[in-house]
Structure 1
Amino acid sequence: MNDMNPRAVIGANNPPDPIDAICAQYEGERMEAENWLDGTPVENEGQMKAVDALRKAMREFRLGLEAGQKSATAPLYDAYRAEGARWKPSIDDAKRIESGLVSLVDGFKKKLAAEKEAAERAAKAEAARKMREAEEAARAANAADIESQRAAAEAQREAEEAQRRAAVASKDTVKGLRTVTKYQIEDHRAALHDIATNDRDAVTAFIEDYVRRNHKTRSINGVRVWKERTAY
């Protein structure tokens, strides 16, 4: 019987998972910390020292995990960045060509679209005029006068034909154009007053974020800044 090579056993030559190794290193302190975290606050100095020691151990636990994460992901991130950089010049050049072609036809497409829109407006106006004429002819037609009846029918036919032409004109659009909503602030003070009046939550969010970012660097009217000691 051939002896089995111990290294041939599945998983025998796999390195230990660094997450498991780090967690195992701090398993005792972690379990002890969970015992303390029952919602009861510290009440004496001895308890404080015990919790501070656990806090220090858990900080080292976290730092160890973060260092392991950085070590494990750095090669993957570097490979991702390298592959992205390899593709980027070709993608950027394709975008430049695409943008250039769009710019090349922009002026003509806008002119053509304006012409088609004018033609559509004219066709709709003509259809409306023909419909009014048909309605007038129908009202004026004498039921006993065959010629007036024929004239009314012809007016109705022309009105329907004009409506069909207007429908065709409305579908005759220029491809590759889109409607973009643009804006220009003409009066910042008026805009601020409008926002404060109609969207107070947005102003509040801006104020809170601004104060959070700047309260240490300058005095802000309406804001009280103070220092106090807190556990860390």
Structure 2
Amino acid sequence: MTDTALDERHAIGANNPPEETPVITPFDAHKANIEDLFLEAKNWVDGTPIESQEQADKVQELLRKTQEAYNAADKSRDEEKRPHDEAAKAVQDKYAPLIADNKSRKGVAVLAIEALRKVGTDWLKKLDAEREAEAQRQRDIAAKAIADAQALINEARDTGDLATREQAEVAIVEAKALDRNATRVENARPQARGYGRAMSLRDNWVITGFVPVPVMDANGQETGGVVEGETALLRHYWTVNKPALVAAALELARQDVLQGKRTLPGVVIINDRKAA
């Protein structure tokens, strides 16, 4: 071995492994290609219009190449995420018999929850109806007691009888106690407590349909006429939230135009042709 060879072996870093060649992933290739196309596209969309057929052909060529790059990257993305989608679907399918909750399928846990909630709701509604009836009964008793106490107070005031006045004061205290008891019954919400969070009734306001609405004159008096509920509702939101109602109508109009409608009341429809 020559002295030169020995010097090369003893040089700093001579024992390091060879440098690894960078791995170019499909994403790296798509990224480089699309970014290059984007830079080239910027040269053609600087605000200056096309001035010749040659330029138009160049733009068309760049458009098609960019579309090809887009489709290739989209396909690559689908291929790259397919194993993840399949793995996610496998997990979903495994758990679906237990906890699926959609229009096409319900897992057994969801079915059990819904059934238990139904029977629990029926029971709690029964208790709530009984509570309301008892609260009203207590209110009636308290109201009568207050009226009787007030009558005694009036009698004591008229006669000046101290015994009657004393009796009236006692009656007032008892009547107020009855009124507080009625309030307690009224505020007591039925519950079921067996484990964890208690089960109780919760307010759930829903719209169930439409009803006719009386027509009113300028003085707020009924005219005898009615409008259908749907019309009344639309008039209401036309007043309180016109932009949202107009946006909804425009979306319906756009769908009609896509389906072939060419005339609609109140809107301008044009043929805004674009290169494809």
Asked if these proteins are the same fold (TM beyond 0.5), I'd say yes
* Alignment pair present for 1:40 and 2:48: yes
Task: For 1:73-92, list aligned pairs within 5 A.
Answer: 73-91=81-99, 92=107
Tell me if structure 1 keeps the 8 A contact 2:263–2:269. Answer: no
Q: Offset of 1:173 from its aligned partner?
A: 1.9
Task: For 1:108-147, list aligned pairs within 5 A.
Answer: 108-142=123-157, 145-147=161-163
Change beyond 3 A, Cα 1:134–1:14: farther
In structure 2, what is the equivalent of residue 193 of structure 1? Answer: 231
Please give the per-residue CA displacement for 1:161-194, whole angstroms capped at 9, x wherever unaligned: 112211220232223323333412467x823322
Change beyond 3 A, Cα 1:39–1:51: same
In structure 1, what is the equivalent of residue 201 of structure 2? Answer: 177
Matched to 1:190, the amino acid is: E
In structure 1, what is the equivalent of residue 102 of structure 2? Answer: none
* Counterpart-to-counterpart distance in 2, 1:27 and 1:106: 60
Higher strand share: 2
SS in structure 2 at match of 1:199: helix
In structure 1, what is the equivalent of residue 117 of structure 2? Answer: 102
* Alignment pair present for 1:231 and 2:255: no
What is the Cα-based RMSD across aligned positions, in Å?
3.1
In structure 1, what is the equivalent of residue 264 of structure 2? Answer: 222
1:204 corresponds to which of 227, 242, 246 = 246
* Counterpart-to-counterpart distance in 1, 2:68 and 2:165: 99
Higher relative contact order (Cα pairs below 8 Å, separated by 6+ residues): 1
Tell me if structure 2 keeps the 8 A contact 1:195–1:203. Answer: no
* Counterpart-to-counterpart distance in 2, 1:179 and 1:155: 38
Structure 2 gap ranges (5+): 1-9, 100-106, 192-199, 213-226
Q: Offset of 1:216 from its aligned partner?
A: 4.9
Structure 1 gap ranges (5+): none
Matched to 1:90, the amino acid is: L
Matched to 2:44, the amino acid is: W
In structure 2, what is the equivalent of residue 28 of structure 1? Answer: 36
Tell me if structure 2 keeps the 8 A contact 1:23–1:61. Answer: no
Tell me if structure 1 keeps the 8 A contact 2:138–2:178. Answer: yes
Please give the per-residue CA displacement for 1:84-121, whole angstroms capped at 9, x wherever unaligned: 11112122111111222223344333222111111112
Change beyond 3 A, Cα 1:145–1:169: same
Change beyond 3 A, Cα 1:195–1:46: farther
SS in structure 1 at match of 2:228: helix
Identical pairs, percent: 22
Matched to 1:16, the amino acid is: I
Q: Offset of 1:220 from its aligned partner?
A: 7.3
Matched to 2:67, the amino acid is: R
In structure 1, what is the equivalent of residue 176 of structure 2? Answer: 160
Please give the per-residue CA displacement for 1:4-40, whole angstroms capped at 9, x wherever unaligned: 444xx8xx58843433221213443321212223233
